[in-house]
Amino acid sequence: MVTGMSIPDPIDAPPLLEARGLTFLRNEEPIFGPLDFALRPGEVVLMEGDNGAGKTTLLKVLSGLLEPGAGEVRLRGEPLTLARLSHQVALLGHLLGLKLELSALENLRFAIGLGGLRAGITPHQALKSVGLEGYEDVAVRQLSAGQKKRVALARLLLVPAALWLLDEPYANLDREGIELVNRLLELHARRGGAALITSHGAYAYTSGTPRRIRLRAPGQPAQELAA
């Protein structure tokens, strides 16, 4: 159940995503310390941290793939369970989720079959806007790493989701690609969506002043950096 994407939520609505006292344990060891933050529609949050700080794990916990060791995640005020995800969350992981033997178009059509199609855009248009016009029928196996990433970004354009969780979205992209990601994030924010992206330092989001949260060693709460 997704509210109209072009109308911002009223101020007193619960935040789109909220983490309270969130930790994750592996073999009884905490991967990241208690985390508290909230994400409202229109916000882009950058999660920074060194390699191994637990950024990917955090995204998986926020998406519902992993259960938190302690604390909770709330989506629009409701506790997050996989059953409640329903078209609200899109996760772009390190592994892109593309079948190598299928073409870009076939992959996108499958994603649409699974997750629905946003109004006003077609797979062809999406591929064009990510700069892959002419590559629709090429097997993904034959695309470069950057081109594969662009197909995944095209999927973000097509499948409706209020919350984007992007793991290292700038990886493998050239300068044009980085600008593309920024444009997509801007568009998403303007439409009332929210995004949480991870990066291990040299972030490149230049639009506005995104909130930055730095993940530190377990036991130390994450540090919200001044913009």
Partner 1 sequence: MSYGSTAGACRALLARDLRLVWRRRGDALNPALFAIMVVALFPFALGPEPQVLQRIAAGTVLVALLLAGLLSLDALFRSDLEDGSLEQLVLSPHPLALLLACKIAVHWLTTALPLLVCAPLLGELLNLPPALRPVLLASLGLSTPLLSLIGAVCVALTVGMRRSGMLLALLVLPLYVPVLIFAAGACNAAQNGLAFTAPLLWLGAGLALSLVLAPLACAAALKISLT
Partner 2 sequence: MNPLVLWFHKLGSPPTFYRLAGRLLPWCYGLALVLGAVALYGGLVLAPSDYQQGDAFRIIFIHVPCAWMSLFVYAFMAVNGFIALVWRIKLSETLAMAAAPVGAAFTFVCLVTGSLWGKPMWGTWWTWDARLTSELVLLFLYLGVIGLHQAIEDRRQAARAAAFLALVGIVNLPIVHFSVTWWNTLHQGSTVRLFGPSLIDARMLWPLLTMALATKFWFAGSLLSRARVDLLELEGGKDWVRQVALAADAAPAPPPEASA
Task: Please name the helix (run of DSSP H) or strand (run of DSSP E) that holds residue 33, with its range, or none.
Answer: strand 29-39
Site for partner 2 contains 26 (CB under 8 A): yes
44, 53, 63, 173: which one binds partner 1 (CB under 8 A): 63
Q: Applying CB under 8 A, what is the total number of residues that bind partner 1?
A: 34
Asked if 15 and 38 count as a contact pair (C-beta separation under 8 A), the reply is yes
| Piece in contact with partner 2 (CB under 8 A), picked from 12-20, 26-34, 173-181, 217-225 | 26-34
17, 44, 47, 91: which one binds partner 1 (CB under 8 A): 91
Calculate the alpha carbon distances from 183 to 64, 190, 207, 209 in Å: 27, 11, 9, 14
What is the closest distance, in whole angstroms, from the C-beta atom of residue 225 to partner 1 in the complex? 29
Q: Rounded distance, CA 39 to CA 56, Å?
A: 18
Calculate the alpha carbon distances from 174 to 139, 146, 147, 177, 178 in Å: 21, 7, 10, 5, 6
Residue 38 contact partner, candidates partner 2, partner 1, none, CB within 5 to 8 A by sort of partner: none
> Which residue's CB is nearer to partner 1, number 62 or number 181?
62
Q: Rounded distance, CA 17 to CA 63, Å?
A: 10
Q: Rounded distance, CA 3 to CA 17, Å?
A: 15
Q: Tell me the three state secondary structure of residue 71.
A: strand
What is the closest distance, in whole angstroms, from the C-beta atom of residue 66 to partner 1 in the complex? 5
94, 142, 217, 219: which one binds partner 1 (CB under 8 A): 94
Residues in contact with partner 2 by CB under 8 A are 26-29
Residues in contact with partner 1 by CB under 8 A are 63-67, 82, 85-87, 89, 91, 93-102, 106, 109-119, 160
